Each structure stands twice: as structure tokens, then as C-alpha cells.
Amino acid sequence: MEYNKINIKDVQVLTEDYYSVGFDKEILNDITKDILSIDTNRINLHDVEEYLNKKNKVESAEVYFTIDKKLNINVQERMPVLKVNNLKGDVFFLDTNFVKIKKSIYKDLDCLIANGFIDDENLFFLYDLAREIYFDSFLKNFISQIYVNEDNTVELIPALFNHKIVINNISQLKKIKIFYNKINNDVDINKYSELKFMFNKQVVAVE
């Protein structure tokens, strides 16, 4: 549906704060300028939605007019769950839908970081791992970094301890939660350099 641009009284950008991270003001201002600077007197709402959905930071966009002639743009931002530094030296974010986002878009975002032997073959595994961590309130605060070894085992770096947590399967995250929630305060686990959770029914500690 098309509307005459001269009838637009205002452009209002709304954001879906679903992930508790709103759109930054710079992006909102850019969207408003883009809409008002379209070189035509007619605005096609479907075309505007398609234009916005092509932006790397936008997950979805809905554009509509109100009865008081305001052009409302309802935008949901992509939410990164992992910052990746791969073997090629590329740095990018992955969002909740496995979409790559340019690192320049989220310069100062506090996000889980993955380094090491990362390539296209193990990237989806890391994405699944990061999602599990991100949507778990305990793990999200507990794990700060991921390092992938050459043998595809994964080292998780906890925020509160000096050792590494080694896994090779996402299901082992459940074992990690149980272990750290039940650990006795009298046990000094910081004397170990690694805790390995890959073995059935046991945790192997390495000094």
C-alpha cells in the first residue's frame, strides 16, 4: 500500500525490547532519515519493510500508519549470543538465529567470546553451545569465554575460578551446573588447572 509522503506528520520508531537490549539512538536516527529522504512522494510500506529487513542489525520490521498520520516503524533488533575470532582472523558476532553480524555494529557489546581452532565445520556446534549458555541464567553469568582446541574439545573459562572446564559435548553443560551448585566451600578447586567433564559419571581434575 502506498501513501503520499507529504501527509506524514511524524515518524516514530518503536523497538522490540525482547532481549533487554534496545536499539541504539544512532540506528534509530538513521532509519528515520532513510525513510524521509526516499526520493519519491509516494511511500510503499512493503518496500520500506523489505529495506529495513536487509539491514544487518534488524531481525524483523513492521511498518504501518496510525490514524493521526504517524508512520510507525516497529523494529526488533538481532541479539548476538557469541563473538567469534576464527582461524582466518575474521571477527564477527552470531545472533540467536545463526546470522553473522559485522563486528563494527556492536563495538562495545559485552558478549561471550570464542577463540581458537574455529572454522566452518565446528561453527554451528559453537552456536548451539553459545545459545545454551546464553539462555541459561546460571551459565550466562558463569562462563565468560570459550576456547576450541585442535582436537575439537572445548575449554570453558569461568568468571569466578582460575581453572579451565573441558567438554566435548553440549549435554555436559548440565553436568557442570550440577557440579558447581553442589560443590563444598571447603574444597579448593582453584588448585586445579583443569576440570574435565567428558567422562561418564566422573569429573577428572588436573593440577
Q: How many domains does the chain have?
A: 2
Instruction: Check whether residue 172 and residue 143 sit in a common domain.
Output: yes
Place of cell 545463526: 98
pLDDT surpasses 70 at 158: yes
> Residue 76 — pLDDT band, cuts 50, 70, 90?
confident
Residue 149's domain spans which residues?
80-206
Lowest mean pLDDT among 34-38, 60-64, 146-150: 34-38
Residues written for the chain: 207
Assess whether 17 and 117 both reside in one domain.
Answer: no
Convert the pLDDT of each residue in 78-92 to its tens digit. 788 899 989 888 888
**Rounded CA separation 94/103 (Å):** 10
Q: How far is the C-alpha of 116 from the C-alpha of 131, rounded, in Å? A: 19
Three-class secondary structure of residue 129 per DSSP: helix
pTM: 0.73
pLDDT of residue 205: 72
pLDDT at 7: 44
Instruction: Indicate if 66 and 144 belong to the same structural domain.
Output: no
Both 177 and 87 in one domain: the answer is: yes
Residue 62 CA to residue 45 CA, distance in Å, equals 9
Q: In this structure, are 62 and 88 located in the same domain?
A: no
Percent of the chain with pLDDT over 70: 74
Cβ(13)–Cβ(23) under 8 Å? yes
Chain centroid, CA 140 distance in Å: 12
Among residues 60, 77, 94, the one where a domain terminates is: 77
